[in-house]
Chain A
Amino acid sequence: MNRFCLFIAAIFIFVAQNAMAHTGHKDESKPVPVAESSDPMYATEKKESDAFGGSGLFSPSDLFMQGEVVTDKPAANEATQMEVRHKENADHKMPEVESAKIKLVETSSKGYGIAAGITLCVGLLFAGLTFIRPGE
Chain B
Amino acid sequence: MNNGLTKTLQDRLGIHLLDYDIPEHSNSIKYSLGGMTLSSFGLLLISGILLAQFFIPDPERANRSLQYLTDQVYLGWFLRGIHFWAGEVLTVTMTLHVIRVFFTASYKNPREINWLIGIGIMLMMVTLLFTGTVLKWDQEAYEALAHFLWVADQMGVFGLPLTEAFAQGVPLLNRIYMAHISLLPIIAIMMIGLHLFYIKYHKLSQLPDATKPAKNIPFTQHMAYLRRSGAGIFLLICLLALTLSPPLGEEPILGLEVTKPPWQFVWIYALENVWVPFLIVAPPVIVGFLVAIPIVDQNKQRYWKRRPLAMIVLIGFILIFATLIIWGTITTMTHSM
Main secondary structure of the interface of B (DSSP, over half): helix
Chain A CB within 8 A of B325 CB: yes
Residues of chain B with a CB closer than 8 A to A12's CB: 236, 239-240
Listed residue (B258, B330, B333) with the most chain A CB atoms within 10 angstroms of its CB: B258
Count A-side interface residues using an 8 Å CB cutoff.
Answer: 63
Given the interface pairs A32-B336, A100-B139, the reply to whether A43 lies near B254 with Cβ below 8 Å is yes
- Inter-subunit contact A111/B252 (CB<8 Å): no
- A16 contacts B by Cβ under 8 Å: yes
Question: In the complex, A29→B273 CA distance in Å?
Answer: 13
Q: Among B5-13, B73-81, B181-189, which stretch is in contact with chain A?
A: B73-81
B-contact 0/1 string along A6-47, CB 8 Å cutoff: 011001101110110111111111111111110101111100
14 new A-B pairs (CB below 8 Å) besides A42-B142, A44-B252, A110-B73?
Answer: A4-B232, A7-B29, A12-B240, A21-B263, A24-B263, A25-B140, A25-B260, A44-B254, A99-B249, A110-B74, A115-B238, A115-B241, A118-B238, A136-B27
Q: Which residues of A contact B (CB under 8 A)?
A: 3-5, 7-8, 11-12, 14-16, 18-19, 21-37, 39, 41-45, 95, 97-105, 109-111, 114-116, 118-119, 122-123, 125-126, 129-130, 133-136
- Taking Cβ atoms with an 8 Å cutoff, the residues of B that contact A are 27, 29, 59-60, 63, 72-78, 81, 85, 88-89, 92-93, 138-140, 142, 164, 171-172, 220-221, 223-225, 227-229, 231-236, 238-263, 266, 269, 325, 329-330, 332-333, 336
